[in-house]
Amino acid sequence: MAVSIEWYLFLSAAIFSIGLFGILTQRNALMFLMSVELLLNAANINLVAFSLYWGNLTGQLFALIVIALAAAEVAIGIGIILTVNRNFDNIDVTEAATMRW
């Protein structure tokens, strides 16, 4: 019995919303990074779901790319967080606000 496409979309939307909520509310940079991961994975779920739905591999391919991208992003992100930590002694994203005008 196949799960109908709507359920995948609901799941994706739910994860996306959680991620978005995380971005808008979290001050901890690690949490922030995880929220971004959630957003990306929400997109991945959509891609894979539609790939299955249409019987087309393009979506899965894109999902793989996004995963690779996410991995790279985490690497860079954690690097940034470490630097932030070194400079500000914490990883609160609202405090690292000196690089503006």
Give me the least distance between CB of 54 and another protein, in Å please: 24
93 binds another protein (CB under 8 A): yes
Q: 80 CB contacts (<8 Å, ≥6 apart)?
A: 29
Interface pick for another protein out of 10, 13, 25, 78 (rule CB under 8 A): 25
Q: Could you give the angle at the alpha carbon of 42 between the alpha carbons of 53 and 70, nearest 5°?
A: 115
Q: Is residue 38 a contact point for another protein (CB under 8 A)? A: no
- Residues that bind another protein in the complex, under the rule CB under 8 A: 20, 23-27, 32, 93-94, 96-101
